[in-house]
Amino acid sequence: MPLNLQKNLPAVEILKKEHIFVMDSLRASEQDIRPLRVVVLNLMPLKITTETDLVRLLSNSPLQVELDFMKIKGHQPKNTPIEHMREFYKDFDSICTDYYDGMIVTGAPVEQMEFEDVTYWDELKVIFDWSRTHVTSTLYICWAAQAGLYHFYGVPKYELPAKKFGIFKHTMNDPYLQIFRGFDDEFYVPHSRHTEIRREDILKVPALKLLSESEEAGVYMAMARGGREIFITGHSEYSPNTLHDEYIRDRQKGLPIRIPENYYKEDDPSRPPLVRWRGHANLLFTNWLNYYVYQETPFHIEDIRNLGDL
C-alpha cells in the first residue's frame, strides 16, 4: 500500500532498499484521492524498529494510506532520540478531534505490572474510549490486546511460569472469516511475553469472539463489535531477527531466558532463523486494512462517530 509518510522518516529509506513501495508526503499531495487515515500508538521501546516493521506490512496495495504516529504525553522513551519523537510523533491532545479509518496500538514492556500501576494507564483508557467514536477499526497487539480486553471487557491476564518466547503454530476457529482470507489451515506467529489471557475468560464474555488459538501459545486472536476491535497476543509484525536480538539482549543482561522455540535452524543460535510467519503477517494486515477498514469506513470520515458494530 503506498503510504503517505513524512519524507525523512527513517523507515522510508530502509524499505526502499527492500523494494517496498512507500510514498513521501510530496508525491502523495499530487494524488487527488482521499487516503485512508491510520494512526499508530507506538508503545514499544525501539520506536524506529517498530515503525519500520509496521510500515513494511501496511504497504503494497493500490490504496493510499496517510500514517500518523501517536505517543503518550510527557513520556520520553529511553531508546529513541528526542528529536525523532518531536518530528514524527503527536500527542493525543493534538489529534483528539480527528477521525481515523484505522488505529494500531502496539505492545509495551510493562506486561508484568498491574494495569493500574502503569504510569500512563489513565491516558491510555481515554485513548481507548476515544477510538470507539473516532476510529473505524482498531488492531491491538500483544500487551495492548491484554490492556484493551481488560479495559473494555474485564478479561484478566495471568503471569506465566516462564517467558513464552518463540514461533508457534496456530489454527483458526472460524476459517471463513474475512480476517483469515488466504490463510493456510495452520500458520505460525512469533510470541514474546511473560503473561497470557485464557480462553475460558474470553468465552465468558458474549461480546467477544475467540478466533484463533495455539496448543503451545494459547489464545492468539479475539474480536469484538464485528471487527471494530481486533486483539492479537503475538507479534506478527516482527522482522526475522527481532527474537534473536531479544535473546541476545536478555542474555547480556543476565536475565533468565531460553532459546526461542522453533526459531533457529536446529535450535542453534549461531544459525539464522527459519522465517515461517511472513506470509501470515502480510495477509493479516492486508485483510484488516481491506475488510475491516477500507470496506467499512464511511466516505465522509467524520461519519465514523455514527458507526455501530460492523
Q: Among all residues, which ones are annotated catalytic?
A: 142, 235, 237
Q: Can you name the residues that pair with 3 across neighbouring β-strands?
A: 65
Phi, psi of 77, deg, nearest 5? -65, 150
Closest CA to 286 of 54, 107, 130, 58: 58
**How are beta strands 89-91 and 100-105 bridged, if at all?**
unpaired
Burial of 22 (0-12, 13-18, 19+ CB in 10 A): buried
3 state SS of 126 = helix
Residue 186 cell numbers, joined: 495452520
Phi, psi of 17, deg, nearest 5? -65, -25
Q: Could you tell me the CA-to-CA distances from 55 to 5, 127, 232, 241, 305 in Å, in that order?
A: 9, 22, 18, 17, 27
